Amino acid sequence: MQANVLLQTLEETFPPTNPNPEDTMEKIMYRSGQRSVVEWIINYMEEN
């Protein structure tokens, strides 16, 4: 699998989202952690 294909799949699977009032703190933190990994990969690929 190409890195760009993987990155596109990650972007589609874990898009940036805004929390809503019904979300629990745990759900917000979980989604934030998922997205932070995707953003780290994007930054890493841009720098290297």
Closest Cα partner for 14 from 30, 26, 25, 3? 30
- State how far the Cα of 40 lies from the Cα of 19, in Å rounded to an integer: 20
Residue-level pLDDT at 8: 93
13: domain range? 3-47
pLDDT in tens, 1-48: 698 899 999 999 999 999 999 999 999 999 999 999 999 999 999 998
Residue-level pLDDT at 28: 96
The predicted model scores a pTM of 0.80
CA quadruple 38, 42, 45, 47: dihedral, nearest 10: -130
The structural domain count of the chain equals 1
